[in-house]
């Protein structure tokens, strides 16, 4: 495998948003991640009913904390009359 294929970084978001637009973008992304975790866990549980839900619960708790912190920042932006700059990158690493 070529080294350039093993790890890549993709910029998926960059720009200024109103607080409402930023809320829509970020909460949708976090909610989709929470739902994906739950669906993946359910799928594993159906295949093996002894599947441990602790790691999924930890991920969901972490994502909800991130969402709450984001909403706190958005409320501050609204109160100050500011836009929100969002920048997001994905680092993709191939692993076996």
Q: Is residue 63 exposed (0-12), middle (13-18) or buried (19+ Cβ within 10 Å)?
A: middle
CA gap 94, 78 in Å, rounded: 40
pLDDT at position 41 is 86
To 10 degrees, what angle do helices 54-80 and 19-47 make? 170
pLDDT at position 59 is 93
Report yes or no: 93 and 10 within 8 Å, Cβ to Cβ.
no
Lowest mean pLDDT among 22-36, 53-67, 73-87: 53-67
Q: What is the pTM of this model?
A: 0.78
pLDDT above 70: residue 56 = yes
- Distances in whole angstroms, Cα of residue 94 to Cα of each of 1, 9, 23, 36, 67: 10, 12, 31, 20, 28
């Amino acid at each position: 495998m070529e080294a350039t294929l093993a790890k890549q970084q993709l910029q998926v978001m960059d720009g200024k948003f109103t607080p409402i637009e930023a809320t829509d973008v970020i909460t949708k992304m976090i909610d989709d991640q929470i739902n994906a975790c739950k669906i993946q866990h359910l799928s594993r549980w159906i295949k093996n009913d002894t599947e441990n839900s602790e790691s999924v619960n930890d991920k969901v708790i972490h994502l909800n904390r991130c969402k709450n912190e984001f909403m706190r920042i958005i409320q501050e932006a609204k109160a100050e009359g500011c836009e929100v700059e969002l920048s997001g990158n994905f680092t993709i690493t191939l692993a076996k």
